Structure 1
Amino acid sequence: MPRNPTSTPAARTGQLPSRDEILAFLAEHPGQAGKREIARAFGIKGGAKIALKRLLAELEQEGTVTKRRKKLVRAGALPEVLVADIVGRDADGELLAVPDEWDEDEHGPAPKILVIPDRGRRAGPQPGVGDRILMRISEPSDRLPEGVGANGRVMRVLDRKPAAALGILRVAPGGARVVPIDKKSKEYAVAVENLGGARDGDLVALDVIRSSRLGLPRAKVREVIGSMASEKAVSQIALYAHNIPHVFPAGVLREAEEAAPVGLDGREDWRRLPLVTIDPPDAKDHDDAVHAEPDADPANPGGFVITVAIADVAAYVRPGTAMDREALHRGNSVYFPDRVVPMLPERISNDLCSLRETEERPALAVRMIFGADGRKQSHTFHRVMMRSAAKLSYQQAQAAIDGRTDDKTDTLLDRILKPLWAGYAVLKRGREAREPLDLDLPERKILLKPDGTVDRVVVPERLDAHKLIEEFMIQANVAAAETLEKHRTPLLYRIHDAPSPEKLEGLKDFLGTLGIKIGMKGGIKPANFNAILARFSDKPESGLVNEVVLRSQAQAEYAPLNIGHFGLHLRRYAHFTSPIRRYADLIVHRALVRALRLGRDGLPETIDDKLEAIGTEISAAERRAMAAERDTIDRLVARWLMDRIGATFRAKISGVTKSGLFVRLDETGADGFIPASTIGDDYYIYDEKSRAMIGSRTGETHRLGDTVEVRLVEAQPFAGALRFELLTEGSYQKPPGRIPRGRNGPGGPPRSVRARTSTRTGRSRPR
C-alpha cells in the first residue's frame, strides 16, 4: 500500500518542494494528498504555505494536476477504485483493461491497465475479454509492460458481455446479413446453417467466426433476442447493448413474493397526518409523500414545518439477501419511453413499498422546521406507519392552485395544497439565498402510440409543483446527510465536484468570443455561472450558453468521502428520497436506522469498508442507465423520421468537431450529424477556442449555437443515427490562413480551386 501521505519525503524538509518533487509525492499517494498533507509532508509552515499554495495553483491552472474529491492528483491519474472494461490481452496473454469512463479531450488516450488475476483458493469466476469489472488500482510499479499505465486487482465482475455484436437480421435467398446497431460497425454475413432459428427482422446476438480483407466479416447467431416488430423492440436493443440486467433470478422473485406486510410494532402512528403523493400521471410506484403546516411556535413567526415521508424499503430488503444483491447489481431503475426496468421486483416496488392512496404503508420520515427566511432550524427522523391522503399528479395539483380544482382537489385545496405552496414559498427564499446552479435545459419526452411507435415529442412544461417536490426532497436529503455525519455513521454522499481547471479554461475561451469574462479569484461558485446565464436569459444565445455551461460541469457520483455538491451549492448532501429506484438511497436508509437505533435492519458494520467500491459500482450503473435511455430515445426518433427523408428542419448547431457538425432539431430535439466534407464550398478548419468550423479561404463560419436549416439525408433507426445536409450559409470572418500542407482534413484532400454551384444558395463561387 502507498505510504502515509503525511510521512516526510526524503526531500529537504522545510523548503519549498520543486514541481517534480510534488508530482512524485502525488504519484506515491494517489487520491490521498491535499494541500494540507503536502505542507505537512514537506515541513512547510507559516508564511511558506502561501508560496506552496501559489505553486499548487499554478500546477492546477496549467493542467499538470487536478482535484479529485478535494485531493490533488496528477492529471490523468487513475482513481484507487474504478469500473473498467477488459479489452484484450498483451503479448504474454495477460488481460488488459481500460477505464469505463475516461475524458480523452482532457487526458488523452485511456491508459491500459494490466489485470492481476486472483488465483487464491476462494477466487471466483475469472473475468475475460469483454467483461466489465470493478477493480482496485495497485501501488505504482516501475516494471509495467510497455504501453501499460497501471495494474489492478479484480474486486468483482460486474457484467459479462453477451455477444461480440448485436444487429438486425435481414434474410435473403442463400444467406443473410446482419445490420449492426453500433453506428461504427460493418454489416456481417450469416450462412443459412448459422441462423440458429432466427427470422427476418429479429434482433440477434452474434459470434464473429471469420474476418478477412475481402467481403463482409462472417458470423453466426448466438442468441435470438426478439422480434423488431414488437412494441418494446427499441428498448430491448438498449438493454442488451448496455448489458443492463432486466430479468430477475427466481430466488429474488421468490423472496419478494414471500415478503409479509410490515406492521405497526416499533413505529410511530402517523396515519392521521394528511400526507399526499405528487408524481407524474403515469407513475406506478410512489416512494415519497409530503405535508406542510405553519409552525405554531411563537418563537418562529412565519416559519413552517415541512414533513417528507419516504417508503421504508429497508424493512423489506435486508442486507445480504438475494433481493439486496440483485438491487446492488442493478444499481437503479432504468426508464424507457415504453417500459421501466425496476431495481426491485414489482411485489416490492409497486405493492408493499409504494405509498398507495388510503393504504397503510411503513415509512421513514423527516420532520423539518424552517424559519421565515427559508433556513432550516432543526429536523428529526421517525420510523412511522402512514396512510396517504391522496394521490395527485403534478398537473392536477398545479391546476388546483391555479384555480381549476376537480372533484378530488376541491376538498384538498385549503387544508393540504395551499399550506404546501406556502411552505414552498418559504423554502424558495432559502434556495435563492443559497444560489445553486440554475440551468434552463428543458428535457424532451417521447409519447408513444398503443403500438409502441412514436406519436409525438414534447417538452413538458416546468411547473411550480415540480419545483416544490424537488426542493422538499433536496432538504430531506440534506437532513439525512447532516444526521449521519452527527452520529459519525458511514454513508454514501451524493457528491458533485467543481469544474476542472481545463474545462473552466475552455469555457473562458468560448465566453470570451461572446464578450464575457469569468472572474476566478477566490474560487468559482455556482453564482458565477448564474450571473452569466442571467445576462443571456432573453437573448438568442441563451440555449447555447446553458449548454456550454452544462458541459463544463463535473459529473455527480456516489462516494463515502464528502466533497460537497457544487451544483446545489451544499456542503453535505445524500440521496435519501428514492430507495425504491436507487440503491444509494437504500444505503442511507439503513445508515439512519443504525445511527438512530430505529430497528435491527440497519447498515451492517461489515459494509463500512466496502462503501467506496459500492459507490463506484452504482455510479457506473447510473451512467450506464443514462446512456441506455438516451440511445433509446435516439432510435425511436430516428425510426419516426424515416418517412421524412428529404424534409427540411430548423435546428441549432449543438456540437462542433474536426469531423463535422452536430445539430439538434427545434421541432423534436432529435440529434444528427453533418459530415465536414458536405458543409460547403471550402476547406473547413476546426477552431477549438470559438467552437466553430471556419472556411480556410472564405472565412465562412459555422459555430456552436448557430440557428440553421438542414435537410434530412439518411435515417438509421436501429443505430439511432440521423445524417443531415446543411442548407444555411454561415457568417463570415477573416480566413484563418492556408490549408495545412500534407493534411487531408475533415473532408478529404482539398478540392481544386474551381467554380461550383452551391447547393445552399444557388450562387457560383471560385474554388
Structure 2
Amino acid sequence: MDKKEYSRRKKIIYSFICDKLYTPMKLKELCIFFGINKDGRDSFKEMLDELCLDGKIELTKRGKYVKAKEKEIIGTYIQNPRGFGFVEFEESEEDIFIPPDEINGAFNKDKVVVKILSSPEGKRVEGSIVRIVERAIIKVVGVFQKSKNFGFVIADNKAFLEDIFIPKEKCNDAKNGDKVLVKLTSYGGNNKKPEGAIIEILGKAGDKGVDVLSILKDYDVPVEFPEKVLNQAGRVSKGLLEEDMYERRDLRDIMMVTIDDITAKDLDDAVSLSFDGKYYELGVHIADVTNYVQENSALDKEALKRGTSIYPVDRVVPMLPPVLSNGICSLNEGEDRLALSCLMKIDTNGSILDSEIVESVINVDRRMTYVSVSQILEGDENEALKYRGFVEMFKQMSELSDILRRKRHDRGAIDFDFAEAKIILDENGKAKDVITYERTKASMIIEDFMLAANETVAETFYWQELPFVYRNHDKPDNEKLNFLASFIGNFGFSMHIGEEVHPKEIQKLMDKIEGCEEEALIKRLTLRSMKQAKYTTSNSNHFGLAAKYYCHFTSPIRRYPDLQIHRIIKECLRGKLNDARKLHYENILDEVAAKSSKAERQAEEIEREAVKMKKAEYMKKHIGEEYEGVISGMNRVGIYVGLENTIEGMIHVNDMIDDYYEFYEDRYEMVGTGGGRCYKLGQKVKIIVSSADTHLRTINFVFAG
C-alpha cells in the first residue's frame, strides 16, 4: 500500500470513529466492520495507534476507540493595535496567531483557552479563542472626553482598541482632557462598547509627570505605600540599636566606600580592598535589610508584592518605603550600618581561593560617584587630591577589576555592552535631549565585584544543599542560533553551532564584530536569540556569564530575591536552619522565584515604555530634520532605522513610494520589484523625521532624497 492510499484509509477510519451515529467499538469490532482479515489486522492497528498518537482518537479503559477529547490550550492573549493578536505560552517559544474575527471578546494579556484552527507546515499556527479564563485588564488609563449625558475614555494602551463608555453618574467630576483611571464594569460585546467608572483623576494630559504616572497606573503598579506599611517602616527606622550589633563582625575600622551614580539615594553595597603584593582581600558589604523587614510582616508582604524597584525615566518607584531604603538601610557615609559581608581572598589570576560570609557592622568612609572615581583613575590631579587617602585603593580596584573581567572572558562570558539611552528632562519634565549613557571604569569595577560576590554566595550555598533562590540563564535554542549563524554569514562572519553551543562561541562572535559597521545590529540579533534570565530554586548555570553558580545577593533594597536569600543566609550562619525551616523555605521559594521573575519582566516593560514615550516626545520637536542612521530591523510592514543616540523609528513600506517593495524574510532584505533597489540590515541610510506620537510611543521616518 502506498503512502497516499495509507493516508486515505486513515482519514476514513477517523471520520467513522468521530461520527456521532456510531457507538465506540473495540479493535475486533472495527476489523469486522471494515472487513479487515487477519493478515491486514497489524496494518489496521498501526493506523489506529498513529491516530491515537496524533491526539485525534483515544482508547478507553474498556478498550474502545472514541474521538479524542479536545485538549484545552491555555495561554496569554497579546493584542496587536491592527486588530489581530497572538496567544503566547510560558513554556513554549511558539505562539498562535489569532485572526480579528477569532478574538471573541478577549482583551490584551487575558488568560484564554485557544483551539487550533490550522497548522500548515512551515507557517504560523492559527487559532480561535474559545473561552476567557481570567481577565488581565481591570483598570484602564486614558483621556476623558465629556458629552452632555455621558463620557468616554480613549485608552492610552495601544492594544486597547475600543473607547470606554462612562455613564454620567460615574464620571466623578472629570473634565475634558483629564487623564483618568477607569475601573471596567463591563467588557462589552454584541456591538456594545466596554463600560467603566472613573476612580481616579491623574491630572491634565500634558502636565508634568502625568505621562509617566499614566504608564505606572496602566500597569496597576502601586505608587503609594499603604498606611500600615508606612507606619511599620517609621517604627523600625529610628536608628541602629546596640543589641542589633551583638555577635556581628566589627568591620568599622576597614576602609570602604560606596560607588554609585550621583543621583542614587538607596546605597545598598559598599566595597573594600587591600593588596599585600600576592593576594587581594576583597570585601563586598551589602545592607542587612532583613534586620528591618521581618518575614510575613506588612513590609515584607508589600515588598514581595512589588518584587522590585522600578526606574521609569523621571522617578523611582521603590520596593521599600524611602524612610528605609534611603535611611537606615542605606549605607550612608559616616554612619554605622548593619551588613552581610562577603569577604574574598583572590590571587593575581582572579581565582577566589577562600571566602567567608559574615554578619557585620560597617561604617562607610566615603560616598563616591562613578564620575569621581573614573576621573581619579584617568589622572585628574584635583580629584585625586580631594580623595588622596583612597587613590591607591581605587588603583588596586581597577587592577583587580581587569583581572576578574579577563578571567570571565577566558571562560566564555558574553559582554554585549549596548549603548543605553539617557533621557535629559527639562524643568517641566519634558524630554530636551536623548544621549547615550557612557559606561565608566568605575561602574565596571562595581559590576565586576558584585558578580564575584554573587557567584561566591551561590556556590557556597549550592554545596550546602540548602533551599535557595538562584539566577539562571538557560542555553539558547539551536534553531535560533542556526538562523543567527546563517544570517551573519551575509556579512562574512561565522560561528560554530554543534549539538550544544558554548557561550564562548557567542563571545568569539562579539570579539570579531567589535568596531565593524554591523556591530550594533549583530549584537541586537544575538541578544534576541538568547533566552530570558529568571529566578529559580534549582541551579542550572548562567549561560551569559558562563557561570556554574549564580544568584542575586547584592541589592536587597530593590530586589526581593536578594532580600529572601539574605534571610536564608542569616539563619544558616546562626545555626537556626533546622529541618522545619528548610521545609518552610522549600514550600515558599518556588512562588517567590516565579513572582520575582514576573515583577522583573513587568518593571523592564514599564521602563522601556517610558523611554519610548520620551523619545517620541523629543523627536516631535525635530520633525522634518534629517539624520543618518543604520537599518536595524525590517518586516513586511516596513524598515526600522536606528540613530546614533539610540532612537529608533520606522519607515512604513507605504511611504517607500519610489517602487513596490517585497520583504524576503530568509535573508532580511527589502527589494524593489521594479528597479531592484535593495535595503539590507546594517545598511547606512539618511532619513527625515516625518512624525512622532507619544500616545502610541512611535516614531516614523521617510527616506531622505
- TM bracket (short chain): 0.7 to 0.9
Looking at structure 2, the residues matched to 381 and 357 of structure 1 have their Cα atoms a distance apart, in angstroms, of 23
- Confirm whether residue 617 of structure 1 aligns to residue 595 of structure 2: yes
1:273 corresponding residue in structure 2: 254
- Confirm whether residue 167 of structure 1 aligns to residue 151 of structure 2: no
- Aligned in 2, Cα 1:648/1:199: closer, same or farther, shift over 3 Å? farther
Q: 1:579 aligns with which of 547, 556, 564?
A: 556
- Aligned in 2, Cα 1:540/1:173: closer, same or farther, shift over 3 Å? farther
- CA RMSD in angstroms, aligned pairs only: 3.9
Q: Supply the AA of the counterpart residue of 2:327.
A: D
Q: 1:459 aligns with which of 436, 447, 455?
A: 436
Name the SS for the 2:388 alignment partner: helix
1:182 corresponding residue in structure 2: 157
Looking at structure 2, the residues matched to 101 and 264 of structure 1 have their Cα atoms a distance apart, in angstroms, of 45
Identity percentage of aligned residues: 29
Looking at structure 2, the residues matched to 595 and 255 of structure 1 have their Cα atoms a distance apart, in angstroms, of 27
2:480 corresponding residue in structure 1: 503
Instruction: Name whichever of 351-360 and 321-330 sits farther off.
Output: 321-330
TM-score of the superposed pair, with normalisation by structure 2? 0.78
Q: Deviations over 1:202-260 (max 9, x none)?
A: 21234487979999988764542333343221211221222222221122111111115
2:407 corresponding residue in structure 1: 430
Looking at structure 2, the residues matched to 597 and 151 of structure 1 have their Cα atoms a distance apart, in angstroms, of 52
Name the SS for the 2:208 alignment partner: coil
Name the SS for the 1:197 alignment partner: coil
Q: 1:343 aligns with which of 319, 332, 335?
A: 319
1:442 corresponding residue in structure 2: 419
C-alpha deviation, 1:179, in angstroms: 4.0
C-alpha deviation, 1:102, in angstroms: 7.6
Q: Deviations over 1:287-336 (max 9, x none)?
A: 000011114xxxxx632111100000111111111111111111100002
Q: Supply the AA of the counterpart residue of 1:630.
A: R
Structure-to-structure mapping, 1:129-140, within 5 angstroms = none
Q: Contact 1:682/1:697 (CA < 8 Å) preserved in 2?
A: yes
1:251 corresponding residue in structure 2: 228
Q: 2:355 aligns with which of 356, 379, 391?
A: 379
Looking at structure 2, the residues matched to 686 and 481 of structure 1 have their Cα atoms a distance apart, in angstroms, of 47
Name which one, 1 or 2, has greater alpha-carbon Rg.
2
- Aligned in 2, Cα 1:204/1:283: closer, same or farther, shift over 3 Å? same
Looking at structure 1, the residues matched to 202 and 585 of structure 2 have their Cα atoms a distance apart, in angstroms, of 37
Looking at structure 1, the residues matched to 386 and 333 of structure 2 have their Cα atoms a distance apart, in angstroms, of 14
- Normalized per residue, the structure richer in helix is 2
Name the SS for the 1:420 alignment partner: helix
Q: Contact 2:281/2:344 (CA < 8 Å) preserved in 1?
A: yes
Q: Contact 1:497/1:563 (CA < 8 Å) preserved in 2?
A: yes
Q: Deviations over 1:114-149 (max 9, x none)?
A: xxxxxxxxxxxxxx98888899xxxxxxxxxx9799
C-alpha deviation, 1:642, in angstroms: 2.0
Q: Contact 2:255/2:365 (CA < 8 Å) preserved in 1?
A: yes
2:694 corresponding residue in structure 1: 717
- Aligned in 2, Cα 1:256/1:694: closer, same or farther, shift over 3 Å? same
C-alpha deviation, 1:387, in angstroms: 0.3
Q: 1:594 aligns with which of 556, 571, 582?
A: 571
- Confirm whether residue 399 of structure 1 aligns to residue 380 of structure 2: no
Looking at structure 2, the residues matched to 688 and 673 of structure 1 have their Cα atoms a distance apart, in angstroms, of 17
Q: Deviations over 1:567-595 (max 9, x none)?
A: 10100100000000001111221121122
- Confirm whether residue 292 of structure 1 aligns to residue 273 of structure 2: yes
Looking at structure 2, the residues matched to 133 and 357 of structure 1 have their Cα atoms a distance apart, in angstroms, of 48
Q: 1:635 aligns with which of 604, 613, 616?
A: 613
Q: 1:537 aligns with which of 514, 521, 530?
A: 514
- Confirm whether residue 567 of structure 1 aligns to residue 544 of structure 2: yes
Looking at structure 2, the residues matched to 724 and 216 of structure 1 have their Cα atoms a distance apart, in angstroms, of 34
2:651 corresponding residue in structure 1: 674
- Aligned in 2, Cα 1:474/1:491: closer, same or farther, shift over 3 Å? same
2:504 corresponding residue in structure 1: 527
Q: Contact 1:484/1:591 (CA < 8 Å) preserved in 2?
A: no
Looking at structure 2, the residues matched to 634 and 172 of structure 1 have their Cα atoms a distance apart, in angstroms, of 32
Q: Contact 1:162/1:205 (CA < 8 Å) preserved in 2?
A: no
Q: Supply the AA of the counterpart residue of 1:472.
A: F
TM-score of the superposed pair, with normalisation by structure 1? 0.72
2:338 corresponding residue in structure 1: 362
Q: Contact 1:183/1:721 (CA < 8 Å) preserved in 2?
A: no
Instruction: Name whichever of 217-226 and 652-661 sits farther off.
Output: 217-226
Name the SS for the 1:431 alignment partner: helix
Name the SS for the 2:362 alignment partner: strand
Q: 2:471 aligns with which of 494, 499, 512?
A: 494
- Aligned in 2, Cα 1:603/1:641: closer, same or farther, shift over 3 Å? farther
Q: Contact 1:508/1:518 (CA < 8 Å) preserved in 2?
A: yes
- Aligned in 2, Cα 1:86/1:352: closer, same or farther, shift over 3 Å? farther
Looking at structure 1, the residues matched to 500 and 311 of structure 2 have their Cα atoms a distance apart, in angstroms, of 37
- Aligned in 2, Cα 1:604/1:317: closer, same or farther, shift over 3 Å? farther
2:626 corresponding residue in structure 1: 648
- Aligned in 2, Cα 1:363/1:640: closer, same or farther, shift over 3 Å? same
C-alpha deviation, 1:180, in angstroms: 3.1
Name the SS for the 1:396 alignment partner: helix
Q: Contact 1:495/1:556 (CA < 8 Å) preserved in 2?
A: yes
- Aligned in 2, Cα 1:184/1:321: closer, same or farther, shift over 3 Å? closer
C-alpha deviation, 1:103, in angstroms: 6.9
Q: Contact 1:279/1:286 (CA < 8 Å) preserved in 2?
A: yes
Q: Supply the AA of the counterpart residue of 1:426.
A: I
C-alpha deviation, 1:651, in angstroms: 2.3
Looking at structure 2, the residues matched to 588 and 450 of structure 1 have their Cα atoms a distance apart, in angstroms, of 41
Looking at structure 1, the residues matched to 520 and 109 of structure 2 have their Cα atoms a distance apart, in angstroms, of 39
- Confirm whether residue 661 of structure 1 aligns to residue 644 of structure 2: no
- Confirm whether residue 555 of structure 1 aligns to residue 536 of structure 2: no
- Aligned in 2, Cα 1:294/1:209: closer, same or farther, shift over 3 Å? closer
Structure-to-structure mapping, 1:737-752, within 5 angstroms = none
